[in-house]
Structure 1
């Protein structure tokens, strides 16, 4: 019975000492310092367009409840802006390419530079 009481008291002393050390009652300047939140190290490049390898290499640091929303939002906003810019550029190029195609193919020229005109053949659709 005496041994049991000794173990209970010893356990209470150890738990109390650990609690005081963590809360700030021990030596030092108070409670444990706040850990700085981990930041996104390899963000998307600012000096060039984003490439597939940049997106493949993108890793978000973990926070207490998942990923840091600010880092994810910044990356998604950047990707959305670049995709919108590329879509607009593709639309402009398709419009520019459709202009010459809409005019139709030019009539073929012979070796003297004369434009040859084909006469319709009866019975064939034009």
Structure 2
């Protein structure tokens, strides 16, 4: 009976140590605080962001960060969407200017 009690106490101690280590390493589920301005190496142009700009964006690797494949997928999708929208705007502006020049 004493041996079983010792094993039980040891299991509880090991579980407590594992729990404490996990909570220190992974936190308690709180959100990460916002970075102060200028603290990120991620750069984008002030205006005229293109799909290539989004494709070139890289984020810092941290222990509790985002899943890289998901971020890459979203950036790729947004880049294509941005390029398509810019092409459509250019097409519409060209179509609008063409009839106006012909009426003069």
- TM-score strictly above 0.5: no
Specify the structure having the higher radius of gyration (Cα): 1
**Alignment TM-score, normalising by the size of structure 1:** 0.36
More RCO (CA 8 Å, sep 6+): 2
Q: Of Structure 1 and Structure 2, which has the larger fraction of its residues in helix?
A: 2
